[in-house]
Amino acid sequence: MSDKAWYLLGVGNRYLNKEKYEKAIETYEALISENPPKEILVRAYNDMGIAHAKIEEFEKANKFFKKAETIKEYSPNFGVELYNNIIKFFDFLDLGEKVIEYQNKKEKIKSAFNLFEFAA
């Protein structure tokens, strides 16, 4: 199952990168219905959040970011990336208090796992 799940995640990401958000969402939904391992599921939820945010479906985006957050411990390195995406989401919505809240959460993960970020 894991190979198929990674493949579907890659297909969804290609759609996401090509700004084909509806196709990305369809692919992530198919992936999620396969009951993938949690380290893949957390990424699928995160990417669903991004895709929904890009088509301005903000409530759905928030729902998927929250789902990803509940299972982020399956991939601490990815937890930092997830929080970066959530921070961008709340910043776009001009929700400064949420931005600060998630910046603090990101820093806690980085400290707990001795992680660091490369500047993009």
For 68-93, the pLDDT digits (tens) are 988 866 566 677 788 888 999 999 99
pLDDT digits (tens, 9 = 90+) for 40-67: 999 999 999 999 999 999 999 999 999 9
- What is each CA distance from 64 to 1, 28, 100, in whole angstroms? 22, 11, 20
Domains identified in the chain and CATH numbers: 2-112 (1.25.40.10)
pTM: 0.77
DSSP string, 28-83: HHHHHHT---HHHHHHHHHHHHHHHHHTT-HHHHHHHHHHHHHTGGG-HHHHHHHH
